[in-house]
Chains A and B, each alone.
Chain A
Amino acid sequence: MKAGSNLENVLRSGAFAVTGELGPPKSGDLELVRKKAKILKGHVDAVNITDCQTAIVRMSSLTAGLIALAEGLEPVMQMTCRDRNRIGMQADILGASALGIKNLLCLTGDHQKFGNHPQAKGVFDMDSIQLLQMVKKMRDDKRFQCGEEIKGSEPNLFLGCAANPFADPFEFRPVRLAKKVEAGADFVQTQIIYNVDKFARFMEMVRDLGVHEKCFILAGVTPPKSLGMARYMKKFVPGLDVTDEVLARLSDSSDQREEGINICVDIIRQVQDIPGVAGVHIMAIEWEEAVPEIVKRAGLDQRPEPKGVEPVLASLDSIEKAVEDARKEVRIEFEEELERAKTEAQASRELVIKEKEKVASEMSDLKKQIEEARTMASQKEAEVQRLTEEIERTRKELEKRQAISTSDLEAPVNAPVAPPAPPVPQGPGPALTDREQRVLESLNLGLQALKEVLGLDDSQFEALKRFLEAEFMLQLAQVAPPVPGRGAPPPPPKVEVPAQEVSTPVEEVVRATPEEQEIEQRPAVRDKEVVNLVAKGNLALHSGDYNGAIDAFEKALSIDAGDEKAKNGLAEAKAALEKELSGVKGPSVKAEPVETSQTLPPCPEDVDEQWWKEKWVIRYTARGNVALMKGDYDTAIAEFKKALSIDPQNEKAKDGLNRAENRQGIYIPSIEAGPRPVEKAKEEKAPVTEEPGPEPQEKEKEKVSTPEPEPEASKAKEEPEKPAPKAEKPRIEISAPAEEGVSDLSVPVLSKEEPSLPERAGDIPEEVYLEACSGVIQSVTLGDGDKAISVGGETALPFYNFEGQMPNPPRVAFEVLDTEPEEWPEVLTKYFSDCLNDPPAWAKKCVDEYNAKCICLSLISTDPNGADASPAEAAEVAQKVVEAVDVPIIFWGCGNAEKDTETLREITGRIGERKVCLGPLTDANYRTLGATAMAFQYPVVASTPIDVNLAKQLNILLENLGVHLDQILMDPSIGAVGYGLEYTYSVMERIRLAALTQQDDKLSCPFICNLGREVWKAKETRLPSDGMLGDQERRGVLMEAITASTLLLAGGELMVMRHPKSVALTEALVEGLL
């Protein structure tokens, strides 16, 4: 192996080699070389890169060869002696070798006379044979031609030469080949063979010289592209023997190219059979595409895998390949890693299973422990039992003692001795004896133990304790009476009276239990029972069972109506119950039973009196408010009065009373029947519809402000923000009749939020909820003079007045069509029925009657798909409209970019000074219309399909054109409610957030929302009134108003709308929100 090239590998392997030829371009076109290389790659083992063949200047063979190499195609660099002397050639050889070229074909070279520079000095410092010698010497002896040693890397090249079997003298040709082989040729590529017989003879001679054993002979073939080419070769290419047979085959063929390939394949087949032929060299001159086909047909398409084809300088592909290799390596590594990880995972899984088992066993241990704990608990219970028994025993002992003391009754000695004031809270209880005291103490101790064991909380414990103490004292009392009273048992009347009193409410209860009947007869027992019940009640009260408590206390009172504790307890329980109920259910509190003439129930002992009072004031006020909410003004007044009777200074109660007296709801402000202030004067002329006050129930149901019948309620009342459109319900119903609709268009003024945000936020610091914006929306002014309106200018999100300013309120423009609308529903047209075919009058009506602040003239007549009115006609109408009204006007084209350009330009030519707004400008016509608008300083509508980036792009384009951002209104494309409103909303919101919080000033233009046309083309606005969908007009108005209000919240600044009512609603909303 001399150079280790792929060609050498193939040839030495004994395979039939295939080489191709690649003629570098007569330019520096890298791609051309690549293209040719790509065609040949995989079909040849190596490719000859010619060295300015026929002496025509081309890309050098060295560089083109490197390109081919970079493409993964092994080059055979050709080198001629014509253009360089030994210095230049050796230099190139060194460079070629350094850059990975491994095959060198040594040629003398075509004479310069044939080329495009025949005046050139032919160098011919040496001939091809001497060149072979020189390179061989460089390679094998590591010496330059001059004999100097090559220090470092010698050029390792597989050396080739050419041989022309058809040149003269024929007999000398094999000799000359032998000379070349002797000089250093490792392989030979012959001249193009057409005359196979002659070549065979040549080969015979070559074999006779044994040359075929010293080198690899590749037979040169060329597919004749055409008969003309074949003839040319025969006539003009010296040393080329094109046989007549070939010419005949071509001339007889209908497809010369096909035949050319066939001829070539046939020749390959023939030369393949000639001994000593090691391969074939296919020279498809400027017909590289033929090579794969030839190779395939010749059965040579299975090329050995290329070896040693590695560019030294990296090409993109080679880098890719390297990356791919690296990736493979990494993948293998990764897979190994994965395998290892899997094994580990398996191991850990097993570990987990073991762990689980362990845990399970631990669990069972734990369970056992729990079991033990339970057993222990039951033991404790037993202990409790024991203690209870002990208590029982104590009690019995007490009884026994009682018995003894009873027997001691006759001897009153004990009485004075009894110590006073035992720690029992029971009023003037009997004095306890020393012993009793001790018993009591031990009882307490026992109870303490019991508490610990049972885990009672303090209140429970207290209750139990009291209960026992009560019992204890009772038992004492049963024994004691003689001590204080020293007479008869407790007087019967005392019991009788309460029994009678109580008998009414709790009669049945009393009757039902024979026990209690019994109690009646036995006062002592009864007392005991009372104390019992009181304790029980207290217990229940503490544990939150207010009903139980009330029950208990009532029972206690039924027995002893004078029992203060029971009374207090009952009051407390009821209060608590009520508090709870009012807290939870509000209005559902059964207020009736609580209604006592007494405004302030007695204050429980352990409660601060002031606190108690406040509590009741709050309670009454709350009740009042509940009643107010229900519309039950009388009750409300009563409740508020009660509250005031306790605390005459209470503001809330006063306020409530005021409201109740004025028949107003709480927080639910009245809606003035009076229209917006502007229209007030008119309102007086055309009186407000006398609608019957809406049903309170309905009002309550909707939680909506209700219209206040008296127009007098003009004091600017606060109202909630949202309900404006809904509040209209009753009105629209009334407005539907055919009488003058205008008077029905009034909308109540929305009140502002009563407590401001900081108030509502309470203690929350501002920085928590305030988020100031860094951007500012452009302020665009439409129209001129005092009727001009500005929109935009916000420094905060829409209506976020607490975060920034909204200097200009959003506006509404009435849409006026320049031709009679065809598809407007009657509920809409009826408002303009007198002027539908007269745009100027229509516009005037909007301004005069519906108080329009702005007009949007839709030039739908110009639509080429519709009436296709000429720009001149449209402009005439436009001019008249301009003359008819003095409010700002927007001219909105038909949406056909070309037509709009014409129309709007025509209009601008006519209207002169008036500052109108032009739209829609799209990416198709923004240049022309933008320029027009700029010239007249008109604001424009930049209209884009619903997309943030498109909107931004159009703004940028317009700005590049010279239109300032404060002259642009963005039309983001509107969808009506139910028809893509949410999409519009989200895009507008994103645009607005970008403008305000991300300093995206290219999006900082105000929005114009042409929503009327969207809403009124929706099916829902067209369907007639029916039971399910309701009134058609109300439906349409609400759809338009809701769409508008949503767009307002998304940041819309200028709404183009149709229905006067929706406009009124929208304007009322804006006013209310600002």
Chain B
Amino acid sequence: MIIAERKTLKELLEMVQGCNRIMILGCRGCVAVCSAGGDKEVSILASALRLGLSRQGKEIEIQERTLVRQCDPEYIDPLNEEASDFDAVLSMACGVGVNFIADRCEDINVLPALNTTFYGANLSSGEWKEMCAGCGACVLHLTGGLCPVARCAKSLSNGPCGGSQGGRCEINPDVPCIWQQIYDKLSRLNRSDEMKNIMPIRDWTQAGHGGPRRRIREDLLP
């Protein structure tokens, strides 16, 4: 799941300066699950903006709306008409939604209400954790399913660095050392010998360093 969190109100207030009519557009996808951009969050943000603007002595018209997903054209395309009267569309989807609206609705001024943070999992209520970096070259089979690229501070490939102590990462005692975990996991799986293998230098092209990534499935193409 894509994890996102709402930008600060201050930032958003600045963002909508000069607008008289805006639409706050939620998404019932990932951001709704991570409680960043669902219906509820749309209402909250709308109230907060009204409040904030009224404190500045301004009053704008805010319309609240939530799409099923903002990453599919069928939901986005109607906006060309529906939102044409608005000065801005404040999207509460992940970055994908914002980009998609921007791509498909040429005349609409789209603004991001959220910071898209990582691909993570919900550890418990209110806690999400990065699990994947989307690097495009998954090595999880070698590491007991634990990603050193996303979860090691230095994205090490060949075991824990010298800063690993007591299972903690050197950068922060709250951060577990993923390589300790990998070591432990592999040991439990009796695969610890695999740690002796040297993981070769990585190809970062699939991690975005080779340019915007695109995926095509021929069989599904129209």
Binding site for B on A (CB under 8 A): 81-82, 86, 108-111, 113-114, 122, 124-127, 129-130, 133-134, 145, 162-164, 166-169, 172, 175-176, 178-179, 182-183, 191, 238-239
Contacts of A114 in B (CB 8 A): 170-171
Residues A122 and B158 in contact, CB atoms below 8 Å apart: no
A532 to chain B, nearest CB (A): 138
Residues of chain B lying within 8 A (CB to CB) of residue A167: 160-165
| A266 to B157 alpha-carbon distance, docked (Å) | 37
Q: Which of B154, B196, B201 contacts A108 (CB 8 A)?
A: B154
B54 sits at the interface (CB 8 A):
no
Selected A-B contacts with CB under 8 Å, 19 pairs: A110-B163, A110-B170, A114-B171, A126-B201, A126-B202, A127-B157, A129-B157, A130-B157, A130-B158, A163-B162, A167-B161, A168-B166, A169-B180, A175-B159, A179-B196, A191-B162, A238-B163, A238-B164, A239-B170
Quick one: closest A residue to B202, CB to CB?
A126
| Residue numbers in B under 8 Å from A175 (CB-CB) | 159, 195-196
Indicate if the CB atoms of A127 and B156 lie closer than 8 Å.
Answer: yes
> Which of A145, A169, A176, A179: most chain B Cβ within 10 A?
A169
Q: Specify which chain B residues have a CB less than 8 angstroms from the CB of A182 in the assembled complex.
A: 198
Given contacts A133-B198, A175-B195, A179-B196, contact A111 B170 (CB under 8 A): yes
Q: Does A86 lie within 8 Å of B201, measured CB to CB?
A: yes
With A169-B180, A175-B195, A178-B196 known to touch, is A124 a contact of B155 (CB < 8 Å)? yes
Nearest CB in chain A: distance from B14 CB, A: 22
User: By the criterion CB–CB under 8 Å, are A172 and B183 in contact?
Assistant: yes
**Is B153 part of the contact surface with A, judged by Cβ < 8 Å?**
yes
Residue of A nearest to B149 (CB): A124
Task: Identify which of B153, B164, B165, B177 contacts A113 (C-beta below 8 A).
Answer: B153
Closest B residue to A180 by beta carbon equals: B158
Q: Does B200 contact A (CB under 8 A)?
A: yes
Q: Is the CB of B201 within 8 A of A162?
A: no
Partner of B167, one of A82, A124, A168, A239: A168
CB distance from A120 to the nearest CB of B (A): 13
B206: min CB distance to chain A, Å: 14
Are B167 and A129 closer than 8 Å at their CB atoms?
A: no
Say yes or no: is B204 at the interface (Cβ < 8 Å to chain A).
Answer: yes
Q: Are A111 and B154 in contact (CB under 8 A)?
A: yes
Closest to B156 in A: A127
Closest A residue by C-beta to B158: A129
Q: Which residues of B are found within 8 Å of A108, using beta-carbon distances?
A: 154, 156, 161
Apart from A124-B154, A191-B162, 6 more pairs, CB < 8 Å: A122-B153, A127-B155, A130-B199, A169-B160, A172-B159, A238-B163
When the two chains form their complex, are residues A129 and B155 in contact, meaning their CB atoms are under 8 A apart?
A: no
B159 — which chain A residues lie within 8 A by C-beta? 172, 175-176, 179
Question: Which residues of A lie under 8 Å from residue B157 when comparing CB positions?
Answer: 126-127, 129-130
Determine the chain B residues whose CB is within 8 A of the CB of A81 once the complex forms.
Answer: 154
Give the residues in chain A near B171, CB-CB below 8 Å: 111, 113-114
- B201 adjacent to A82 (CB under 8 Å): no
**Could you say which residues of chain B place their CB within 8 Å of the CB of A163?**
162
Nearest CB of chain A from residue B171's CB, rounded to whole Å: 5
Residues of A within 8 A of B162 (CB): 162-164, 167, 191, 238-239
Instruction: List B residues 171-198 near A (Cβ within 8 Å).
Output: 171-172, 177, 180, 183-184, 192, 195-196, 198
The answer to whether A179 touches B201 (Cβ under 8 A) is no
Hey, which chain A residues are within 8 Å of B153, CB to CB? Answer: 111, 113, 122
Contact of A133 among B156, B164, B167, B201 (CB under 8 A): B201
Total A-B pairs, Cβ < 8 A: 103
Report the Cα distance A178→B196, complex, angstroms: 8
Given contacts A129-B198, A167-B163, A239-B163, contact A179 B158 (CB under 8 A): yes
A86 and chain B: residue at smallest CB distance: B201
Known contacts A111-B153, A176-B159, A238 near B201 by CB under 8 Å = no
Q: Separation in Å of the A182 CB from the closest CB of chain B?
A: 7
Chain A residue contacts of B154, Cβ below 8 A: 81-82, 108-109, 111, 122, 124, 127
Distance in Å from the Cβ of A193 to the closest Cβ of chain B?
13
Beyond A111-B153, A111-B170, A133-B200, is A127–B163 a contact (Cβ under 8 Å)? no
Q: Which 9 A-B pairs have the closest CB atoms?
A: A164-B162, A238-B170, A130-B201, A238-B163, A129-B158, A239-B162, A127-B156, A167-B162, A124-B154
Report the minimal beta-carbon distance from B141 to chain A, rounded to whole angstroms: 19
Give the docked Cα–Cα distance between A80 and B95 (Å).
34
Residues of chain A within 8 A (CB-CB) of B177 are 168
Query: Quick one: closest B residue to A81, CB to CB?
Result: B154
The residue from A168, A238, A239 contacting B180, defined by CB atoms under 8 A apart: A168
Chain B residue at smallest Cβ distance from A172: B183
Q: With A and B bound together, what is the CA distance between A167 and B183 in angstroms? A: 13
Alpha-carbon gap, A133 to B200, bound state (A): 8
Chain B hits for A164, CB < 8 A: 162
Query: What's the nearest-Cβ distance from chain B to residue A139, in Å?
Result: 16
Q: How far is the CB of B151 from chain A (nearest CB, A)?
A: 13
Contact check, A172 vs B195: say whether CB atoms are below 8 A apart.
yes
What is the chain A residue whose CB lies nearest that of B177? A168
Please tell me which one of the listed residues B165, B183, B195 contacts residue A239 in the complex, with CB atoms under 8 A apart: B165
Tell me the nearest residue of chain B to A134, going by C-beta: B201
- Smallest beta-carbon distance A31→chain B, Å: 33
Contacts of A238 in B (CB 8 A): 162-165, 168, 170
Identify which of residues 110-164 in chain B touch chain A, using a CB-to-CB cut-off of 8 Å. Answer: 153-164
Expressed in whole angstroms, the Cα–Cα distance for A108 and B157 within the complex equals: 11
Q: Which chain A positions have C-beta within 8 A of B180?
A: 168-169
Determine whether the beta carbon of B160 is less than 8 Å from that of A183. no
Complex contacts, B164 vs chain A, CB 8 Å:
167-169, 238-239
B residues near A179, Cβ cutoff 8 Å: 158-159, 196, 198
Residues of A within 8 A of B170 (CB): 110-111, 114, 238-239
Report the Cα distance A129→B159, complex, angstroms: 10
Expressed in whole angstroms, the minimum distance between the Cβ of A230 and any Cβ of chain B is 17
B161 smallest CB distance to A (angstroms): 6
Expressed in whole angstroms, the minimum distance between the Cβ of B180 and any Cβ of chain A is: 6
- Which residues of chain B have C-beta atoms less than 8 A from A127's C-beta? 154-158, 161
Give Cα A182 to B204, complex, Å.
24
Q: Which residue of A lies closest to B173 (CB)?
A: A238
Q: Judging by beta carbons under 8 Å apart, are B163 and A111 in contact? A: yes
Instruction: Return the chain B residue nearest A125 by Cβ.
Output: B204
In chain B, residues 16-50, which have Cβ atoms closer than 8 Å to a Cβ of chain A? none
Nearest Cβ in chain A — how far from B196, in angstroms? Answer: 6
Contact of B198 with A183 in the complex, beta carbons under 8 Å: yes
Which residues of chain A are near B199, meaning CB under 8 Å? Answer: 130
Residues in B whose Cβ lies below 8 Å from that of A133: 198, 200-201
CA distance in complex: A182, B154 (Å): 21
B148's closest neighbor in chain A, by CB? A127
Q: Please, how many angstroms separate the alpha-carbon atoms of A122 and B195 in the complex?
A: 24
CA A164 to CA B170, docked complex, whole Å: 13
CB nearest neighbor in A for B193: A175
Who on chain A is nearest to B155 by CB? A124
Bound-state CA distance A129–B170 (Å) is 19
Choose one: A124, A130, A172, A191; the contact of B200 (CB below 8 Å).
A130
How distant is B114 from chain A, measured CB to nearest CB, in Å?
22
Min CB–CB distance B83 → chain A (angstroms): 36
* Smallest beta-carbon distance B41→chain A, Å: 29
Partner of B183, one of A110, A122, A169, A183: A169
Residue of A nearest to B163 (CB): A238
Q: List residues of chain A with CB within 8 A of the CB of B158.
A: 127, 129-130, 176, 179
Q: Which residue of B lies closest to A129 (CB)?
A: B158
In the complex, what's the smallest C-beta–C-beta distance from A882 to chain B, in angstroms? 86
CB contacts (< 8 Å) of B160 on chain A: these are 167-169, 172, 176
Query: Complex Cα distance A129/B158, Å?
Result: 7
Scan B206-218; emit 1 where CB is below 8 A from any A CB, else 0: 0000000000000
| Contact indicator A168/B165 (Cβ below 8 Å) | yes
| Contact residues in B for A169 (Cβ distance below 8 Å) | 160, 164, 180, 183-184
Q: Which of A122, A127, A133, A167: most chain B Cβ within 10 A?
A: A127
Chain A's nearest CB lies how many Å from the CB of B142? 14
A110 to B165, CA, bound (A): 14
* Cα(A660)–Cα(B14), bound, Å: 130
